[in-house]
Amino acid sequence: MNENGRRSAQPIGAVMVVGGGVGGMQAALDLANSGFKVYLCESGTAIGGRMAQLDKTFPTNDCSMCIISPRLVETARQKNILLMTDTDVHRVEGEAGNFSVTVRHKPRYIDVEKCTGCSECAQVCPVVIPGHFDESMSRQRAAYKLYPQAVPNAFAIEKRGIAACRNACPTGQRVQGYIALIREGRWDDALRVIKEDNPFPGICGRICNHRCEDACNRRLLDQPLDIRALKRFVTDKVYEKPRLPVTPIEPFQDKRVAIIGAGPCGLTAARDLKRAGYPVTVFESLPVAGGMLRVGVPEYRLPAEIIEREIADIIDLGVDLRLNSPVTNLNEVFGQGFDAVLIAVGAHEGIRLPIPGADLKGVFVNTIFLRDVRLGRAPKLGSRVIVIGSGDVAMDCARTAVRMGKEVHIHYRRTRNEAPADPLEIEHAEEEGVTFHYLSNPVEIIGDEKGHVQGVRFIRMELGEPDETGRSRPQALAGSEYTVACESVIFSVGQRAGLGFIPESVGVGMTRQRTVAVNPNTLAATRPGVFAAGDVTSGTAFVIEAVAAGHKVASSIDRYLRGEEMEPALKPELPVVRFTKDDIADRLARGEAHTKARVRVRTLSQHDRVRTFEEVSLGFTDEEAEEEAARCLACGVCSECLSCVYKCGLHAIDHDMVETFEDVQVGSIILAPGYDVYDATQSEEYGFGRFPNVVNSLQFERILSASGPTMGHVERPFDRTPPRKIAFLQCVGSRDQHHPYCSGVCCMYATKQAIIAREHDRAIEPTIFFIDMRAYGKGFDAYFERARSEHGVRYVRSMVSRVAESPDTKGLRISYLDEASGSIKEEDFDLVVLSVGMVPSQGSQGLAKKLGIDLSPDGFAKTDTFSPLATSKPGIYTCGVFQGPKDIPETVAQASGAAAAASEALSPSRGTMVAGKGYPTEKAVEGEEPRIGVFVCRCGSNIGGVVDVPGLKEYAGSLGNVVYADENLYTCSQDTQEKIKKAVEEHCLNRVVVASCSPRTHEPLFQETIREAGLNPYLFEMANIRDQCSWVHMGQKEEATAKAHDLVRMAVASARFSEPLHRLTKPVNKRGLVIGGGLSGMSAALGLAGQGFDVFLVEKEAELGGMLRRIYTTIDGKDVQAFLKGRIEQVMSHPRVSVLLGTSVIGFSGYLGNFKTLLSIPGKGEEELEHGAVIVATGGSELKPKEYLYGDAPQVVTQLELEGMLANDPSGCAALSEVVMIQCVGSRNEERPYCSRVCCAEAVKNALALKERNRDTRVVVLYRDMRTYGLLEEHYARARRAGVLFLRYDEKQKPEAIQEDGRILVSFESPVLRKRLSFRPDLLVLSAATLPADTGALAALMKVPRTQDGFFLEAHMKLRPVDFATDGIYLCGVAHSPKMIDECITQAQAAVSRACTVLSKEQILVGGVVSVVDKEKCAACLSCVRVCPYNVPVIDAEGAAEIEIARCQGCGICASECPAQAISLQHFTSEQINAKSRALLEKRA
């Protein structure tokens, strides 16, 4: 009911989990396994988070990847989890129970559904960038998979957007792409991608006006790249080789197209239309094709050979080119039955200025002059030639005339600055001896008596106001006329289209500028079926624009002929990468860019130039091209070179993807966005980012990792030599002015890294510089002690303030305070590792804003001690480092806890959004002769490029019982699954073998496929011919093929003996039992009840509350007793909770879902309860110290006693003038080697309370390490500010307390002050150890393990923190290890979540791959009982081993140990293993 009294709608049975790290995955799995739909939203390309990057984990030194990898696979396979990678939360509306979340899917450019992770795209990708996963310690490609085990197993492309060069090009040339390919020396590939958008690379590589260069972001740094020259270089490289014949395209469309004009526009359109299947006819009036390219541009700029080659590549596609076929009247063309006509005649008509004498003999116009020269019919020129105009064509005319041996003058009415020609052209003309006369305009051409030119009369000009073109308008200076003698004049003042062949009657409209009128979007003229493009519509333009127009009009004609909508659909706008000066400055600062001028293209010497028409520009050499290409800033990251597109056999790549939005309805949201490592470049004193041998701890994880940049060899980044001395600097980005918190994990990970580094290389001498050693977690102190005593890790207690680099060796000098001598020492190291702290991830800050949840000043999500996983907004929960710094197990526990918290309110909707899956009935195959189908995978070229797959397929088909063999490009692709199912059907297969990659990732997929085909999933076998064959024997094709034969033969042999296995169902008793009625137990009981399950809460004492009864406030001042009272009331009044006080457990049996517990209840006697899951929350107690006069002197109390005094006798406490506290009383010693974790915070809390009662009370805390981990650190700082004295004592010289005249005298040796200090306190407070409850008997009954310290031992220290190895039994609170209040509540919620994965099910499936006992053979030798890590086998009443299949984990240890071979592991039977082994030893066929 809501506050209006109306009944709220049923909540939505789905949860969104934001963040796919270890926390997000755990929350998602728990929720999905207890009946909720989960949307797992990850902003990166793969889940796994930080943990996937780690090498090992403390304190067990487990391989991080090995333990997280199964989680990844499980998450991917869980059908109720919808995995959304590349996705972040955009907007959230609604309220708890009914949120509407809009998520934003970022483009990945690779379709996750289609991608099989074969890696071929990355193999061909030319773009190399710093590796994300290796923290820039290695290189990766723009097409990448984050790491080999990444889930989803799909590649992604990193792309910032469209490069500015591509965006500027009218045809969208993929400039960055071909430059990247040039850098790799892949010239054919480069040409291929250029030709994708431009059929004239050789031409444009010479004469393009290169707008790309104007847009090049490099211009902000120095000069743009010489893109044009690089393009030409590519064609030079490819055209050196003989031209390969082009395969003609047979027309497959029946509509015919006519193109008038064989210039760049017409030919581009011809190519596109030919490719689209149309018969194309091109009419050209000249005897050569190429239009202006061929007859307008002089040979010395554009050799005819290049033009002819590129045109031939088009014509040879099967274009019907008709040379010398001028169209004199457009109507003729219509008469020939064409369905569409393209007018692309260009602008070949030169213009004469309307001045007297313009028609005299010896006066030429540019286009005609150049054409005639080009066609070998050059006109006779006088010795002195005047060219009028200063555009590119004018330069062509002038330089052509120079080559004809003439003296050439150019007259231009503006100045050089306004000249439209390319500056380089002007420069070349000047070099060749052309004289320029600026501000000079002709007024008359003077002829002689024969009507031949003899001079030109010019007038001087001056520049006036800018005109509409933005250029200054030239104005004539009156009276400044002058005459220049000459014999020839060439007008080069513009050119236009000759459109005389289009009579008005044909219905093709014209514009006032004498161009064909067209719709600018479609280039359709006013008569249907007629199109026009190029200079005839735009006026004179550049070749690249003609090409662009050709593409555009071709697609328009295609749409017209298909009868489609003429206006093209709008393409999505892709972002363009435009750098700012700041971007450039950043790159310079990071050393990713260096100033470097463009490589100048060599030219023919001036001397050689003016004599011949040989090409002036010599193009780049290989070295020059490489040098120039290396200047590319690769602005877009992905260069869009299309190499991946060409390579991918699955068409999974789409470079046009854009971001999309999706609305998702959920009942709750869990935020697990994780953390970023502190950016140590901000701590400039350590030189990170400047000194190559200073790395951060995450980078060092990668260095240690076998899959990392150095393959696990510990090497210095600078010179890749093994370091001897490594320094670890703690608290970098933690416990400083900007980060008032402790990151909680660094002491332990540095210890681990030091140990592992020494394991890799015994010569390494690690030193850890630290402030306090915060080994506060379970097993941490023992780990730290082992590091110190057994592993040779040196610990120096000193905060290092500076790292100096030696300029020659790049070694690093550290100065520190040496405690032993009391002086500053200097020491040199080879490598420095900065133990960087955790900062809330950048993404999480924006996320919090969008969701409207409160953050702490440090950016962590604000939560409450008593509901530690709830954010400030109802229905939104959090876990992991976003809630505060923490390690993996705490993150996992919080994640489970958050899952319970998030689903409690949704429990009425449990199961409403999850879908079961129906399968066909299984075919009975027992007794049938095996009919095996073998599917061999090429995995693109991963396998196919090494192993002879067709041969292997044939070989497989020849093996006994194989009735069908096939090969696939990608066996795991969706369509192949259908193929496999069909083959099972058609060939009556009853066993299936796939020879491909790893069963770890792919076996479940294929098992699912054959199940869908009606086969039992255990009738499947896999041969790993990729990871274990083609990848490792890449250079040995024959041997690899032979090995692949062996592997397939073995798999087939095993398959012959595989049998269907059936799993049994067992009902689940949906009640829970909680043992222990303290804070954790009560919280767990309430949690289970809140989830809708009945709970028994068993407490051995007469009342609930446990140790919490002795705690009065939290460190942040909350009233614990009020909270406790409320919680007890809730428990006692909850209808689903049955509380059994004074009760103890005396018997225990059963298994997951069906446990029986025998209780001894006062007044009732023994009673047996049946339940489906158990939560153990037996708690602990405070040690009664035996030292420091405790019990002998009344002034000596424990912290809990002081807490009671502070609550009950405030005035007495205020009267104290001096209080001394001693830490680690009974902890961290030989008897109890563990840290009690809570005492430092308890001491700080009580010290602050004393100071609050009376600020003049002197409070002294004697400690070994202040372990105020995580956010507790700020209270430690608060206490120091309040004047509490924290004095360290050395473990070897513990404080002494004696009684003197009825007073206490405490004295100790201060290692900092190097002298003995003493105090006479009114009160001596001992921070006594936390003890586990006495659970020996209970552990024996339940057969669950405990640590040496007497705490219960969880199934896995990292990833199963609240599970016992025995399914269905969970633990929480101090029973696990000492904990703070919020941690106990979190673990209780976590245990609830875990229990719900059982209790929410109606039944459980058991069996499958489990051990079975042949009781006849069993000798009851107890071998299996002893070796089973899960304590499953028992000797039953008949005296034989019994393995409860519901409890068996299928590890097979018992089967291998059983001396009588009475036990066998199903699906891995001796028969199968023997068959495999025999097959291996068989002679190779």
Query: Would you tell me which residues interact with another protein (CB under 8 A)?
Result: 683-685, 687, 690, 802-808, 813
In sequence order, what are the residues at sequence separation of 6 or more whose Cβ sits closer than 8 angstroms to the Cβ of residue 348?
Answer: 291, 292, 295, 296, 367, 371, 495, 497, 498
- From the CB of 685, what's the least distance to another protein, in Å? 4
The torsion angles phi and psi of 1484, rounded to 5 degrees, stand at -65, 130
| Least Å from the CB of residue 589 to another protein | 9
Residue closer to another protein by CB (options 813, 1278) is 813
Q: Are strands 143-144 and 156-157 parallel, antiparallel or unpaired?
A: antiparallel
For residue 729, the minimal CB distance to another protein (Å) is: 14
* Structure tokens belonging to residue 1034: 């890449």
Rounded to a whole number of angstroms, the minimum distance from the CB of residue 753 to another protein is 24
Residue with Cβ nearer another protein (335 or 807): 807
d(CA 211, CA 171): 11
Q: Which residues have C-beta within 8 Å of that of residue 1279, sequence separation ≥ 6?
A: 1244, 1247, 1248, 1251, 1261, 1286
Phi, psi (deg, nearest 5) at residue 104: -110, 120
Closest distance of CB 821 from another protein, Å: 18
Q: Which is nearer to another protein, 123 or 681 (CB)?
A: 681
Give the separation between CA 201 and CA 191, rounded to whole angstroms. Answer: 8
Task: Compute the least distance from the CB of residue 257 to another protein, in Å.
Answer: 59
* Assigned token pair, 456: 């030109």
Q: Work out how close the CB of 583 gets to another protein at its nearest, in angstroms, rounded to a whole number.
A: 18
Distance in Å, CB of 806 to another protein, minimum: 7
CB of 802 to another protein, least distance (A): 8
Specify whether the CB–CB gap between 797 and 784 falls below 8 A: no
Closest CA to 1022 of 1045, 1050, 1046, 980: 1050
The secondary structure of 1070-1121 as a DSSP string is -EEEEE--BHHHHHHHHHHHHTT-EEEEE-SSSSSBGGGGG--B-TT--BHH
Compute the chain's Rg from CA coordinates: 41
Rounded to whole angstroms, the Cα distance separating 175 from 579 reads 17
Rounded to an integer, what distance in angstroms lies between the CA atom of residue 595 and that of residue 111?
39
Q: In 1218-1335, where does DSSP find H-type helix?
A: 1239-1253, 1273-1281
CA 391 – CA 43 distance, rounded (Å): 53
Smallest distance from the beta carbon of 70 to another protein, in angstroms?
Answer: 45
Q: Which is nearer to another protein, 585 or 630 (CB)?
A: 585
Least Cα distance to 486 among 457, 454, 445, 458 occurs for 454
- Farthest CA pair distance, the chain: 143
Comparing CB distances to another protein, the nearer of 633 and 812 is: 812
- 683/798 with CB nearer another protein: 683
Cα 553 to Cα 280: distance, rounded to the nearest angstrom: 14
Return the number of the residue (808 or 1301) whose C-beta is nearest another protein.
Answer: 808
User: CB 137 → another protein: shortest distance, Å?
Assistant: 21
Taking the least distance from each CB to another protein, the nearer of 585 and 1340 is 585
Residue with tokens 């002689």: 448
Residue 717 vs 840, nearer CB to another protein: 717
Side-chain-side CA neighbours of residue 904 (13 Å): 23
Nearest to 785 by CA among 7, 59, 39, 154: 59
542 contacts 208 by C-beta, under 8 angstroms: yes
Compare residues 686 and 970 and give the one whose CB is closer to another protein. 686
For another protein, the closer of residues 812 and 893 by Cβ is 812
811 or 1076: CB nearest another protein: 811
Q: Tell me, what DSSP letter sits at residue 730? A: E
Residue 1279 zone, left/alpha/beta (φ > 0; ψ -120 to 50; rest): alpha
Of the pair 834, 1374, the CB lying nearest another protein is at 834
Q: What is the CA 282 to chain-centroid distance, rounded? A: 51
Distance CA(926)–CA(934), nearest Å, equals: 20
CA distances from 1025 to 946, 995, 1031, 1477 (A): 10, 6, 8, 17
Distances, alpha carbon 41 to alpha carbons 4, 18, 24, 761, 893, in Å: 34, 5, 9, 40, 20
Question: Which of residues 692 and 945 has its CB atom nearest to another protein in the complex?
Answer: 692
**Least distance CB 231 / another protein (angstroms):** 34
Kindly tell me which of 521 and 806 has the beta carbon lying closer to another protein. 806
Nearer to another protein, 688 or 877 (CB): 688
Please, what is the minimum distance in Å from the beta carbon of residue 579 to another protein?
21
Q: How far apart are CA 301 and CA 208, in angstroms?
A: 11
How many whole angstroms separate alpha carbon 1453 and alpha carbon 1411? 9
If DSSP states are collapsed to H, E and C, what string results for 818-872?
ECCCCEEEEEEECEEEEEECEEECHHHHHHHHHHCCCECCCCCECCECCECCECC
Of 505 and 737, CB closest to another protein? 737
Minimum distance from residue 804 beta carbon to another protein (Å) = 4
How far from chain centre, in Å, is Cα 546?
41
CB of 221 to another protein, least distance (A): 15
